[in-house]
Amino acid sequence: MGVFTRALRNISRKKLRTLLVVIALGFSMAIMVSIPSGILANQTSTEQLIGNFDTTITNLEAEINKTLTLVECSISSGFTEQRGPSGGFQPPGGFDPGNMPGLMTRSVTYLNESTITDIVAIEGVKDIVAIIEKTEGTNQTIQTPRGTFQILVPDYTIVGVPLNSSLIDNYAFLPTNIVEGRNLLEGDSMVVLLSLNNTEYFGVGVGGSVDILGASFTVIGIYEPSDSQEATNLYMSLTDAQTITDLSGKLSRLEVYAVDQSHVDVIVNQIEQLYPEFTLTTYETRLAQLERQQEMYATTLENAQATLSQTQTVAYQEIGIAVVATSLIVLFIMLYTVRERTHEIGIFKAIGFSNGNIMSQFMLEGILMSVIAGVVGVAIGVIAAPLLSSLLLPSATRFTSNSPGMNSPGIGTNLLGIPFTSAMTASLNPQLIFLAFGAMVLLGALGSLYPAWRASRTSPMEALKYE
Amino acid sequence: MSEIVLETDKLNKSFKLGGREVHALSNVSLQVKRGEFVSIMGPSGSGKTTLLNMLGCLDRPTQGVVAIDGVDITKVPEKKLFEIRRNKVGFIFQNFNLLPYLNAIENVELPLESIGKSKEERRTRAQELLKTVGLSGREDHRPNRLSAGEQQRVAIARALANNPAIVLADEPTGNLDQKTGLEIVRLLGRLCVDQGTTIVMVTHDSRMASETGRILALSDGKLLVKEKEGHLMTDKATKCSACGRELPDDAEFCPRCGKKL
């Protein structure tokens, strides 16, 4: 019977006590394992967030630079009210129609293609990209405190673009993320580039044929949309789009590119004089919008970092408490054990065991208990790490909902590209388990040190008298 | 090898009790020869156990010398006393003091572990000792499954494990009935004869003491008489007028009640 077997027997002798201690220590261990894994998950998540922000900001900067010479021309669309007996919306019930707002329907106004001739003649205009968009879907009527609106729930949006290779190469008006087939090229006709969403809607793949507004198109490629606005867009040549939508000679907007930035103001003035009904968007307004977005990102980032730092502080405190609790549990249990077994210590000393023998016996028991608790702790940690870390750490999702940027449509999820909460899931890695296990054994040894020393110093005569 | 295995010279032990100095032992000088079976008798509080603790290095004398196998243990540093206990002394206690979570053979093996014997050596020696004390076949029984007499036999085997120079038995029959007690004392006597073991036994039972080779009587911490060698009962002639104990002719006091004759 060696010292190890004796230690094991002593531990198993007091089953209930050992069980309680092991559970308590096991939870400490689980906390020691779960919290760092939670922090790591937070850290990874924040790093991912920072990475995405960096990419977004870089893209925005590129877009700003690209749009420095852009003047976007369109005619404002909006809701117009339809009233009166001739086909106006009549609200149900006995209300006086005169006091009720009428049915608000969306009106879309197109530009005439002939305007291109006038605009291209303006000095300093380098290129013009003419685009037509038409959304097909189902009309739905919704009632709001501000009135009754008829909105269009889109099935798909036809986007007609000029298939001119020089324009395609210089200006990014076609999607870039082609997942199957190819992109549109100069000279393409009666072919269509579908989004992944479109393929689901039409139930067709590359090479297949799709019927759009009565015309048959061949699917030339499929792209993955970069945001929700793009998700329903299908691209084809401008001419094809104008033909099938019965909008020949019409355009949704013109993207007018100046030869350089210094000509933008002159071009804007000239267009305003020629077509005062146009809504013109220049790089200045775009720049202001983009800068606002950058600011929002920066704020979100600061919030993310602040939350991470706060999380880490709380985590360190909790780990500290777990460490102290573990040491104290081992200390008190071993002190109690030594006291309880004083008589036994007397017997050991009487039959010739040295102080060192006695000390190592009790140290081993403390360490062994910690090892068992460590195994239990790892088991608890593996099962409950995500739960424990979410319970014990401040929620890292808070800043995502508090920050203004994150609530803006198209930024919170689409531009960031990651749903932040899913990255919070804490997972244990072997290194962490090994470290926490080592810490648990070390704490067990430290906690047993004083009781074991006390046991070794017990006078044999006094110990033998102890009952 | 010296004939005298245990010797004390003017051994004194005093301690303070309620601000008053109590002399537990006063100038106790004795000698025990190798292979001798000696009993120490005396009423409660006479200092028997205190003396035994001094002899077994469990306690330190205030003054005087205790020598085991020629080594003055009063000069051995506190931290080294365990070596004397480990190599020179075997203990037998009134309440057996077996470890309840170890079986008979594991209890006997314990002292052998302290001197670094291998597992096989420990097992062989322990089996041999259990056979000597008549417990063959009971090796795997834990103390709670052994009778009181059997437990004391295990304790005797454990005391003999390291071949100690001297075995100190503190009231070894105190928790046993008369018959079992006698069996135990006779077993100890046989060990003295057969194996040359030196045993010092503290008892207050004259029947048990009468089985030993020599009786030393303690009263108020003083050793009153050294009786002659040989069995006390062989020369019995008179009885103590106070307690009725049978005494040898030349006895100067009764070892049971301490009455002077």
Q: Which chain A residues are Cβ-neighbours of B86 within 8 angstroms?
A: 351-354
Whole-number Å distance between alpha carbons of A312 and A297: 22
Q: How many residues in chain A?
A: 467
Q: Could you please report the per-residue DSSP string of A40-87?
A: HHHHHHHHHHHHHHHHHHHHHHHHHHHGGGEEEEE---EEEEE-STTT
DSSP A94: S
Residue A84 predicted with pLDDT over 70? no
Q: Would you list the domain boundaries of chain A? A: 15-54+297-465, 110-277
Specify whether the CB–CB gap between A380 and A30 falls below 8 A: yes
Q: Provide Rg for chain A, Cα atoms.
A: 36
Q: Which chain B residues are Cβ-neighbours of A353 within 8 angstroms?
A: 82, 86, 114
Q: Which chain B residues are Cβ-neighbours of A461 within 8 angstroms?
A: 53, 58-59
Percent of chain B scoring above 70 in pLDDT: 86
Contact call for A350 and B110, based on CB within 8 A: no
**Closest chain A residue to B82 measured between Cα atoms?**
A352
What letter represents residue A385's amino acid?
Answer: A
Q: What is the pLDDT of residue A407?
A: 35
Count of A–B CB contacts within 8 Å? 64
Q: Which chain A residues are Cβ-neighbours of B97 within 8 angstroms?
A: 343, 346-347, 350, 464
Structure-derived torsion over alpha carbons of residues B92, B95, B100, B106, reported in degrees to the nearest 10:
20
The three-state secondary structure class of A163 is coil
Structure-derived torsion over alpha carbons of residues A44, A49, A50, A53, reported in degrees to the nearest 10:
160
Q: What is the pLDDT of residue A371?
A: 92
Instruction: Give me the mean pLDDT over the A216-233 stretch.
Output: 89
Of B90, B91, B102, the CB nearest to A1: B102
Residue B235 predicted with pLDDT over 60? no
- The ipTM is 0.84
The three-state secondary structure class of A416 is coil
Closest alpha carbon to A194 in A215, A171, A217, A163: A217
Contact call for A464 and B82, based on CB within 8 A: no
Q: Of A27-41, A253-267, B185-199, which gets the smallest average pLDDT?
A: A27-41
Q: What is the pLDDT of residue A309?
A: 84
Q: Which chain B residues are Cβ-neighbours of A355 within 8 angstroms?
A: 79, 82
Specify whether the CB–CB gap between A140 and A149 falls below 8 A: no
Residue B77, both tokens: 């540093």
Residue B158 predicted with pLDDT over 60? yes
Residue A319 predicted with pLDDT over 80? yes
Residue B174 predicted with pLDDT over 50? yes
Q: What is the pLDDT of residue A92?
A: 45
In the predicted model, what is the mean pLDDT of chain B? Answer: 86
Specify whether the CB–CB gap between B22 and B16 falls below 8 A: yes
Of B79, B82, B93, the CB nearest to A352: B82
Q: What is the pLDDT of residue A409?
A: 34
Contact call for A349 and B85, based on CB within 8 A: yes
Give me the phi and psi of A161, to 5 degrees please.
Answer: -130, 155
Specify whether the CB–CB gap between B171 and B140 falls below 8 A: no
Residue A354 near chain B (CB below 8 Å): yes
Instruction: Give me the mean pLDDT over the B100-128 stretch.
Output: 92
A159-203 residue pLDDT tens? 999 998 888 888 888 998 899 999 999 999 999 999 999 999 999
Whole-number Å distance between alpha carbons of A431 and A131: 56
Which of A82-86, A296-300, B248-252, B255-259 shows the highest mean pLDDT? A296-300
Q: To 5 degrees, how large is the angle CA B246–CA B250–CA B254?
A: 45
Whole-number Å distance between alpha carbons of A192 and A159: 10
Contact call for A353 and B114, based on CB within 8 A: yes
Is pLDDT larger for residue B134 or for residue B257? Answer: B134
Whole-number Å distance between alpha carbons of A137 and A156: 7
Residue A464 predicted with pLDDT over 80? yes
In the predicted model, what is the mean pLDDT of chain A? Answer: 81
Q: How confident is the model at residue A401 (pLDDT cuts 50, 70, 90)?
A: very low
**Closest chain A residue to B90 measured between Cα atoms?**
A351
Q: How confident is the model at residue B232 (pLDDT cuts 50, 70, 90)?
A: very low
SS3 annotation, A370-413: HHHHHHHHHHHHHHHHHHHHHHHCCCCCHHHHHCHHHHCCCHHH
Q: What is the pLDDT of residue B28?
A: 92
Q: Which chain B residues are Cβ-neighbours of A1 within 8 angstroms?
A: 102, 106, 109-110, 113
Whole-number Å distance between alpha carbons of A97 and A88: 10
Query: Given the structure tokens 């200092």, which residue do they identify?
Result: B47
Q: What is the pLDDT of residue A226?
A: 81
Q: How confident is the model at residue B2 (pLDDT cuts 50, 70, 90)?
A: low
Range A313-328 burial, b when 16+ CB lie within 10 A, else e: eebeebbeebbebbbe
Q: How many residues in chain B?
A: 261
Residue A4 near chain B (CB below 8 Å): no
Q: Of A146-150, A172-176, B40-44, B75-79, which gets the smallest average pLDDT?
A: A146-150
Whole-number Å distance between alpha carbons of B39 and B10: 19
Which residues of B have a CB under 8 Å from any CB of A? 53, 56, 58-59, 79, 82-83, 85-87, 89-91, 93, 97, 99, 101-102, 106, 109-111, 113-115, 119, 158, 162
**Mutate which of A1, A8, A466 to test chain B, going by most B C-beta atoms within 10 A?**
A1
* Closest approach of B244 to chain A, Cα-based (Å): 33
Q: What is the pLDDT of residue A419?
A: 37
Q: Which chain B residues are Cβ-neighbours of A337 within 8 angstroms?
A: none
Q: What sign has the CA pseudo-torsion A347, A348, A353, A355?
A: negative
* Closest approach of B98 to chain A, Cα-based (Å): 8
A338-380 residue pLDDT tens? 999 999 999 999 999 999 999 999 999 999 999 998 898 888 8
B15-34 residue pLDDT tens? 888 888 888 999 999 999 99
Residue A424 predicted with pLDDT over 60? no
Q: What is the pLDDT of residue A130?
A: 93
Q: What is the pLDDT of residue A405?
A: 37
Range list of H helices, A245-282: 264-274
Query: Given the structure tokens 């950058």, which residue do they identify?
Result: A294
Specify whether the CB–CB gap between B157 and B133 falls below 8 A: yes
**Closest chain B residue to A3 measured between Cα atoms?**
B113
Query: Given the structure tokens 């003083």, which residue do they identify?
Result: B222
* Closest approach of A354 to chain B, Cα-based (Å): 6
Cross-strand partners of A221: A181, A193
Q: What is the pLDDT of residue A95?
A: 43
Instruction: Give me the mean pLDDT over the B240-255 stretch.
Output: 63
**Cβ-proximal residues to A347 (8 Å cutoff; 6+ apart), any chain:** A464, B97, B99
Structure-derived torsion over alpha carbons of residues B247, B253, B256, B258, reported in degrees to the nearest 10:
170
Whole-number Å distance between alpha carbons of A82 and A62: 43
Q: Which helix (H) or strand (E) holds A167?
A: helix A165-170
Q: What is the pLDDT of residue B253?
A: 61
Q: Which chain A residues are Cβ-neighbours of B113 within 8 angstroms?
A: 1-3
**Closest chain A residue to B50 measured between Cα atoms?**
A461
Cα B161 to Cα A357, B109, B129, B166: the distances in Å are 18, 7, 7, 12
* Closest approach of A13 to chain B, Cα-based (Å): 8
Of A343, A352, A355, the CB nearest to B162: A352
Q: pTM of the predicted model, to two decimals? A: 0.63
Q: Of A92-106, A143-157, A201-215, B206-220, which gets the smallest average pLDDT?
A: A92-106
Residue A150, both tokens: 């008829």
Closest alpha carbon to B110 in A264, A467, A353: A353
Instruction: Give me the mean pLDDT over the A436-464 stretch.
Output: 90
Of A9, A351, A357, the CB nearest to B101: A9
